[in-house]
Amino acid sequence: MTQDSREKLYEAYYMRVFSYVMTLAGDRALAEEITQETFFRAISHQSEFRGEADEATWLCAIAKNLCLDEKRRQQRRGEMPEEIPDTGEGFESKTADKDSSFRIHLALHTLEEPYREVFELRVFGELSFREIGMIFAKTENWARVTYHRARLKLQERMREK
């Protein structure tokens, strides 16, 4: 991989990967570190890229694994993960006030996996259903159904509060 192609990969996908990692990590400094490590690993292991998915999906899969590794390290050290901060600026712009936005994030925080992650990938990470399916090693249809169910669960929880 040439220096030019490395730079193009980084420039093309940095914000997308960083946004995705922010939804998982919830901490800007940690997200920046994981994003950098994601690109380092991708460039170091470029020969392992089989081309079965597009580069963004491949990078997000690497990032997800790095986030899971970090979470395991924190648990082993006995650290409590920080609460996910309210980073949904896109969500806030769609809500009338901060109270509504906060209630949405509280409800989102209570969603079980994989619903929460699929919803975050779609809304905050702006990934396609195909890309989400690839990250989970599932079908595009599975991603669509899971996202739809997550939306319904979120709406139901919002009505309860």
Long-range contacts at 137-144 (CB < 8 A, ≥ 24 apart): 143/118
pTM: 0.49
Q: Of 130, 146, 4, 142, which Cα lies nearest the Cα of 56? A: 130
Same domain, 90 and 131: yes
Please say whether the beta carbons of 150 and 118 come within 8 A: yes
Last residue of a domain, one of 67, 84, 101: 84
Same domain, yes or no: 73 and 90: no
Torsion of CA 103, 65, 77, 85, to 10 degrees: -20
Same domain, 27 and 92: no
Domain identity same for 72 and 1: yes
8: CATH: 1.10.1740.10
CATH number of the domain to which 138 belongs = 1.10.10.10
| pLDDT value, residue 89 | 45
Asked whether residue 112 falls in the same domain as residue 38, the answer is no
> What's the pLDDT tens digit per position in 84-102?
444 444 443 443 456 666 7
Residue 124 near residue 86, CB atoms below 8 Å: no
Q: Give the residues of the chain that fall short of pLDDT 70.
A: 1-3, 46-52, 78-101, 161
Residues 97 and 59 in one domain: no
Q: Contact at 8 Å (CB) between 156 and 149?
A: no
Number of domains in the chain: 2
Does one domain contain both 60 and 40? yes
Q: What pLDDT, on a 0 to 100 scale, did the predictor assign at position 100?
A: 64
What interhelical angle do 3-25 and 55-76 show, nearest 10?
A: 50
Tell me the residue range of the domain where 131 lies. Answer: 86-161
Contact 38, 9 (CB under 8 A): no
